[in-house]
Chains A and B, each alone.
Chain A
Amino acid sequence: MENDVIRYEDVELLLNDLHERYGYDFTEYSKASLQRRIYRLFTLDKFPSFAEFRYRLQTDNYYFRRFVEEITVNVTEMLRDPSFYRTLRTTILPVLATYPFIRIWHAGCSTGEEVYSMAILLKEAGLLHKSLLYGTDINPQVIDKARKGIFPVSQMQKYSENYIQSGGVRDFSSYYTANYHLAKFDSALTAKMIFSTHNLVSDFSFNEFQLILCRNTLIYFERDLQSKVFRLFDYSLENFGYLALGSKESLRFSPIADRYRQVGKEKIWRKTHEAG
């Protein structure tokens, strides 16, 4: 059985190839998850050996694109962790409301479900007209999907439950039009969104925000890369802005921790002062 397994050394070899050839640096991603995703792709595409897999990646740009699409995790949902969204409604949005213009960045937004969730909250708080939501991801394919705002109808019941638990009081189905098995979200929401590819490993800050959300992306990064990304967020966040993370992620061990204060029980931190 050993021969059909991709070992940790193989993964490192591959990552160095990709960095050299394509400029994509995955070397500081958490290896256990990455190895699992790479093995999954290797099996899915039925490569007879690791050497052939590696050769294909070295020589075929299109296959490399597939690699990026498949090894990044793109699982997300609308209003994931409803209590988190409830806190956004009750605690964070009232503060953002005091700004003349609201800029929000969803880093690692995948297919955009959380961006649409945020737009719904902003609309209900009467703030959408003066907001701009930026959604970015390393994977161009998911960004295309996010732009379209079309999600499977089969998910809507779950999302509707999340919506109610998050404190929503309207009819969730008023935000989309169902057509066969697809639900297309209101273009008034999409009009306030800007989607673009952005690589947290290598790309720079592109604006200043009052709220940055990066949920369940940092779990795939090793500690040093996490620190680097935290500094990028810190640099991109206005003073007194908010940073929101996934339910098992924390700012605690990061180099920016001393400038941030956690808001309540949710994984939301507020910037208390700028770097000295």
Chain B
Amino acid sequence: MKPDKLLVIGGSAGSLQVILSLLAAIGEGFPMPVLILLHRNGGFESSLEDIFSSRTSLPIREVEEKDPLRAGTIYLCPADYHVLLEKDHSFSLDYSERVHFSRPSIDVTFRSAADIFGPGLICLLLSGGNSDGAEGMQYVQERGGLTAVQDPATADVPYMPQQVINRMKVDFIVPTDDIPRFVRQLGEPHK
């Protein structure tokens, strides 16, 4: 069955630690797929998959083109490709120009996911020194998706989440320490 919800987490400088801590909070039975997009340079690709796997019991998978989305799986965007979603809930990769000096770009993935999931999309933007993600997050909100950012006051690099706050009324501003609990609650019923 195609999932009707998707959580996309975007992060750049200073967000790795946050992602590791929230992974520990997503366990067996998490009811939706999770897509993690981390800006990184080509260097340490596959090791990231290994580091993440040690933090959660859920399967971690680096996105390959045409992979179908499955609930309870954590997907990792590969270095150097934009990641898009198709109508049949499969992934597409795209090697077009960088956006905000980034490939993968968070804006590109947020927008594409919003086109497919609309109100079923949840986006979380973490620490970073880049303005990637802000425009995409506004697009997500316009299509009824849920938007959340790491509280810049507690982020390692506040610039990226701050860009979202400057631009729009974001649904949740979550202090760093509360992010694991916040994510866990997204997976609980009646949220």
Could you tell me which A residues sit within 8 Å of B by CB distance?
A: 1, 8, 30-33, 35-37, 73, 75, 216, 219-220, 223, 246-250, 253
Contact = CB atoms under 8 A, between A and B. Distances in A.
B126 interface: no
A246 B94 CA distance: 11
Nearest to A39: B111
B64 A250 contact: yes
A223 B94 CA distance: 15
B97 A248 contact: no
Contacts, number: 53
Nearest to B139: A1
Given A248-B65, A249-B65, A73 B142 contact: no
A32 B113 CA distance: 10
Contact of B85 (A32, A220, A246): A32
B86 A31 contact: yes
Interface in B28-59: none
Given A32-B112, A248-B78, A250-B64, A75 B96 contact: yes
A32 B96 contact: no
A219 B93 contact: yes
Interface in B164-180: none
Interface residues of B, number: 22
Contacts of B92: 30, 32-33, 219
A92 to B, nearest CB: 22
A219 B112 contact: no
Given A33-B96, A248-B81, A1 B142 contact: yes
Given A1-B142, A219-B65, A223-B66, A246 B84 contact: no
A248 B94 contact: no
A37 B96 contact: yes
Contacts of B95: 73, 75, 216, 219, 246
Contacts of B112: 32, 36
B65 A36 contact: no
A30 B116 CA distance: 14
Interface in B57-94: 64-66, 78, 80-81, 84-87, 92-94
Contacts of A36: 84, 94, 96, 108, 111-112
Given A32-B85, A32-B92, A75 B65 contact: no
Contacts of A73: 94-96
Interface of B: 64-66, 78, 80-81, 84-87, 92-97, 108, 111-112, 115-116, 142
A30 B86 contact: yes
Given A36-B96, A219-B94, 5 more contacts: A31-B86, A32-B115, A73-B94, A73-B95, A253-B66
B97 A75 contact: yes
Contact of B87 (A31, A37, A248): A31
B64 A248 contact: yes
A246 B66 CA distance: 14
B74 to A, nearest CB: 18
Contacts of B64: 248, 250
26 contacts: A1-B142, A8-B87, A8-B115, A30-B84, A30-B86, A31-B86, A32-B85, A32-B92, A32-B115, A32-B116, A33-B84, A33-B94, A33-B96, A35-B115, A36-B84, A36-B94, A36-B96, A36-B108, A36-B111, A36-B112, A75-B97, A219-B81, A219-B93, A248-B64, A248-B78, A248-B81
Contacts of A75: 95-97
Contacts of A32: 84-86, 92, 94, 112, 115-116
B43 to A, nearest CB: 12
Nearest to A216: B95
Contacts of A248: 64-65, 78, 81, 93
Contacts of B85: 32
A220 B142 CA distance: 28
B29 to A, nearest CB: 29
A223 to B, nearest CB: 6
Nearest to B113: A32
Nearest to A253: B66
Nearest to B108: A36
Q: Across chains A and B, which 9 residue pairs bring their CB atoms closest together, nearest first?
A: A32-B84, A73-B96, A216-B95, A33-B94, A30-B92, A32-B92, A219-B93, A219-B65, A32-B86
